[in-house]
């Protein structure tokens, strides 16, 4: 049975695998991954911590891992988990080898695809309801901002503030 996501149906496969909509971004929690891939959650956390540490040391921070701390009200103990975006999920599980992880990787990629299509459909429904004049202004503002960022990047690249690809 498909769930509803603000006007767009969420395929049941997403719910089965724990892929959910978090403010328009498909996410999955590290606990769900540990259960599905039959990995101890402490090992999943270790792998995520290693990825975040390695990315940080190389100056490559990304918003792919969102740490969540839950406090048990009865004993006051805190429990960690992470919500992962699709790139975070891919980076983490591509390190896990074997037939079973491969099957689950494919299933999760399919679920992320389904979620993205459902969210896109929701977005199309929202766009249809917008005033074309307002929507055009939003597109123009976004396009202008993107052009400015590209110009800044090219300027940094040309002034050797960013190393060229393969130029080690």
Tally the residues of the chain: 168
pLDDT of residue 165 exceeding 60, the answer is no
Which pLDDT tens digit goes with each residue over 58-101? Answer: 888 788 899 999 999 999 999 999 999 988 988 898 888 777 77
CA 102, CA 99: separation in Å to the nearest integer?
A: 5
pLDDT of residue 137 exceeding 70, the answer is no
CA 168, CA 156: separation in Å to the nearest integer?
A: 17
Q: What is the pTM of this model?
A: 0.58
* Most confident of the following: 11-20, 45-54, 100-109, 152-161: 45-54
Task: State the pLDDT at residue 167.
Answer: 46
* Exposed / middle / buried, residue 90 (Cβ in 10 Å: 0-12, 13-18, 19+): middle
Task: State the pLDDT at residue 98.
Answer: 73
Task: State the pLDDT at residue 134.
Answer: 55
Question: Could you give the C-alpha distances from 9 to 58, 78, 130, 150, in angstroms and in order?
Answer: 40, 35, 21, 36
> Three-state SS for 8?
strand
- 88-97's contacts with Cβ under 8 Å and 24+ in sequence apart are 88/62, 88/64, 89/28, 89/33, 91/51, 91/64, 92/33, 92/44, 92/47, 92/48, 92/51, 93/33, 93/37, 95/47, 96/37, 96/39
Would you state the structure tokens that stand for residue 77, as one six-digit string? 């103990």
Nearest CA to 8 among 124, 134, 149?
Answer: 124
pLDDT band for position 168 (50/70/90)?
very low
CA 148, CA 157: separation in Å to the nearest integer?
A: 14
Which pLDDT tens digit goes with each residue over 57-70? Answer: 888 878 889 999 99
Q: Virtual CA dihedral for 126, 130, 136, 138, nearest 10 degrees?
A: -60
Task: State the pLDDT at residue 119.
Answer: 77
Which pLDDT tens digit goes with each residue over 99-133? Answer: 777 777 777 777 778 878 877 776 656 555 555 55
């Amino acid at each position: 049975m498909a769930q509803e996501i603000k006007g767009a149906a969420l395929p049941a496969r997403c719910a089965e695998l724990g892929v959910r909509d978090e403010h328009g971004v498909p996410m999955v929690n590290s606990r769900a991954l540990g259960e599905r891939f039959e990995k101890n959650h402490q090992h999943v956390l270790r792998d995520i911590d290693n990825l975040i540490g390695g990315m940080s040391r190389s100056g490559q921070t990304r918003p792919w891992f969102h740490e969540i701390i839950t406090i048990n009200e009865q004993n006051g103990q805190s429990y960690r988990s992470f919500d992962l975006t699709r790139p975070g999920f891919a980076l983490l599980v591509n390190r896990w080898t074997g037939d079973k992880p491969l099957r689950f990787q494919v299933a999760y990629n399919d679920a992320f695809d389904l979620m993205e299509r459902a969210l896109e459909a929701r977005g199309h429904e929202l766009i249809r309801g917008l005033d074309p004049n307002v929507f055009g202004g939003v597109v123009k503002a976004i396009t202008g901002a993107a052009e400015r960022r590209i110009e800044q990047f090219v300027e940094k690249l040309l002034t050797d503030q960013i190393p060229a690809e393969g130029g080690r």
